Structure 1
Amino acid sequence: MHPEDDLSRVLGQMLDNDGQSAVLSPVKVPSVATEVADRLMTAVAVGEYLPGERLPGERELATILGVSRATVREAIGRLQAVGIVEIRRGRTGGAYVRASWTEATASAVRRTLVPRWAELEQLFDLYGLVEGMVAATAAQRRTGSDLSAIRMGLDAYASATTLRDEQLADRAFHAAVVAATRNPKIRALSQEVLTRVSLGFPVEPYGEDDRESYQRALAEHRQMYAAIADGDAELARDIATRHFTITSEIMRTMLERSLSSAPDS
């Protein structure tokens, strides 16, 4: 057995040792539609889905959250009612994000993040460790084609002119790094931890259009690429572990924003 396979097994056991995660478990609350709507509003607030982007369809969301399509439909209706999404008809129809934050968002973020925060802090730590291992393994195993793919993602990120382009390029860059490990178990582990960090949605939080954060991410992408290209596993690990604190910072910023908007704040 490869060491990475054993690590994947052990970490999988760690993730599940308390039973189903509160972040990923099927929704079980008195008002399921409220919980689903809150989780979707929080996902939009932290930038998992950006303005102008189409949310996953009813069937996909029902599978992700472990609820019925009728519940998803009711939750989407609530997002529409508060102005977070608009419903478009036709061939490319669906629920499209209109705004990342409305008057209804703060309470939804509080209800979603506050009860989960202790577990999320542990997951943020684990996420950084896993992605550090991913980058280190990529540095040891990358091929010329892997480096070309990583470089393509880096160049796309550097030349992005919209937040959506940045997000897509960021995903492409990190997907290429994961692919360079040449181990499907590592890829699955990375995706599993990301999904748990991201409230059950398999996409990275991206935050608001912040030039300072973008410049930091771009610099770290360049550093990570250079370390992987040089085969410097330890440097790649250190850069990636630091880089993935961006996710926890985005989530923490949204939590703090929601708390500052509380009626008694």
Structure 2
Amino acid sequence: MSDRLLTAIAVGDFLPGERLPAERELTGLLRVSRPTVREAVARLQAVGVVEIRRGRNGGTYVRDSWTESTAAAVRHTLVPRWEEFEQLFDLRGLVEGMVAATAARRRGSKDLDPMKDALSAYLSASTPRDAHTADSAFHQAVRTATGNPQIVMLSQDLLARISLGFPVEPWGRGEQTHFHQGGEDHKALYEAIAAGEPERAEEIARGHFTISADLIRDVLERVRAR
């Protein structure tokens, strides 16, 4: 469990300064008991990856995305399942392309407002954390525009599977290059969906989701090089 959390932080599911889900939410997301969650969080605190804050905005916050304990955790979590991850990356590209194309075909005028708002929030984000939040909102708006709850759940399930159980996009270390590429992709995808161009939307989405796959590959290469 602690290895899984360390790996999730390493691939950027949660960035430095972000708060982890509450204990109760973690038990549901990861399907483990509360004592297991407490033990895992305590280990992360002991190695300096997270800190516990008290008070009104209290909770468990990420301090550092990489420590001496991280490499071993990533190897233990990713290496045995790497073939499965590559299959998931391929499947996700196909599915997210379909999601974007369907949104372009079916979207109503009201579906565009949440996308536009999330796009504006992303482009004006002053921190990686703000961009991370806006990114999630944008893709949720695209899913919703398909008008099919089953498509929404399929997309969310694939996201959780590549994100080690968490409903958030891997974000690496919040690098500016990925931020800018994501912004360009979001803008192009919004324009394609707004214009009702499903083929173009599909192509953009399939390319866009290679960013997450490449970020996870980079983390694996980082530990293999050690």
Kindly provide the amino acid, as one letter, of the partner of residue 214 in structure 2.
E
Question: Aligned-pair RMSD on alpha carbons?
Answer: 1.1
Amino acid at match of 2:140: A
SS of match in other structure, 1:201: coil
What SS does the aligned partner of 1:44 have?
A: helix
Q: Which residue of 2 aligns with 1:38?
A: 3
Q: Which amino acid aligns with 1:77?
A: A
TM-score, reference length from structure 1: 0.83
Match of 1:102 in 2: 67
| 2:190 is aligned with 1:228 | no
The letter of the residue matching 1:182 is G
Q: Which of 229, 249, 252 in structure 1 is aligned with 2:214?
A: 249
Q: 2:19 aligns with which of 44, 50, 54?
A: 54
CA distance in 2, matches of 1:184, 1:99: 36
After TM superposition, the score normalised by the length of structure 2 is 0.96
What is the CA–CA distance in structure 1 between the aligned matches of 2:203 and 2:54, rounded to whole Å?
47
1:182 aligns with 2:144: no
Instruction: Provide the C-alpha distance between the structure 1 equivalents of 2:133 and 2:200, rounded to a whole number of angstroms.
Output: 25
**2:83 corresponds to:** 118
Count of aligned pairs: 226
Q: Which runs of 5+ in 1 are unaligned?
A: 1-35
**Secondary structure class of the residue paired with 1:96:** strand
The answer for the alignment partner of 1:173 in structure 2 is 138
In structure 2, the gaps of 5 or more residues are none
Equivalence for 2:184: 219
Structure 2 counterpart of 1:203, one-letter code: V
Q: Deviations over 1:43-94 (max 9, x none)?
A: 1111111111111122221222222111111111110010000112234322
Which residue in the other structure is 1:149 paired with? 114
The structure 2 residue matched to 1:162, chosen from 121, 127, 133, is 127
Q: Which amino acid aligns with 2:67?
A: T
**Range with greater deviation from structure 2 (36-45 or 47-56):** 47-56
Counterpart residue number, 1:9: none
Cα distance in 1 between the residues matched to 2:175 and 2:57 = 30
User: Which of the residues 93, 96, 108 maps onto 2:58?
Assistant: 93
Alignment partner of 1:95: what SS?
A: strand
Paired amino acid for 2:84: E
Q: In 1, Cα distance between the equivalents of 2:132 and 2:17?
A: 13
Q: Which has the larger radius of gyration?
A: 1
